[in-house]
Amino acid sequence: MKLKDLEPQLLALTPAEKFQAIQLLTQSLASNWSGIEKTPGVCGGDVCIAGTRIPVWVLVNYRNLGVSDTELLKCYPTLRISERGSKLQPNLHF
């Protein structure tokens, strides 16, 4: 099944059902990425870098604003560059 096939059904959901769908998808994604975790009561339940209180959305926003990896590492010294490359990855290591 493709997303475009699901789109009409997703749009027909109530706001509460949409929220549940988003949570389900977020949990599904978070459980597949090492270094990413979601803990109830931590950062409002947002997905965070494992062992930190750094929400992933914060890093994504910085990246979208053009902040470099070097600048991010200065702001968040507990993060490290992924062993797989010279760029910060979604599964950041610290």
User: What is the model's pLDDT at position 70?
Assistant: 87
DSSP of 3-47: HHHHHHHHHTS-HHHHHHHHHHHHHHHHTTSTTEEE-TTSGGG-E
Asked if the model's pLDDT at residue 1 lies above 70, the reply is yes
Mean pLDDT of the chain: 80
3-state secondary structure of 88: coil
Asked if the model's pLDDT at residue 63 lies above 80, the reply is yes
pLDDT in tens, 25-56: 877 775 666 678 888 888 998 988 888 899 98
The partner residues of 49 in beta bridges, in order of sequence, read 36
Higher-scoring residue by pLDDT: 49, 84:
49
Region class of 5: left (phi > 0), else alpha (psi between -120 and 50), else beta: alpha
User: What is the model's pLDDT at position 89?
Assistant: 52
Q: Which contiguous run of DSSP H or E holds residue 48?
A: strand 47-49
**pTM for the whole thing?**
0.52
Domains and CATH numbers, the chain: 1-32 (no CATH), 34-94 (1.10.10.10)
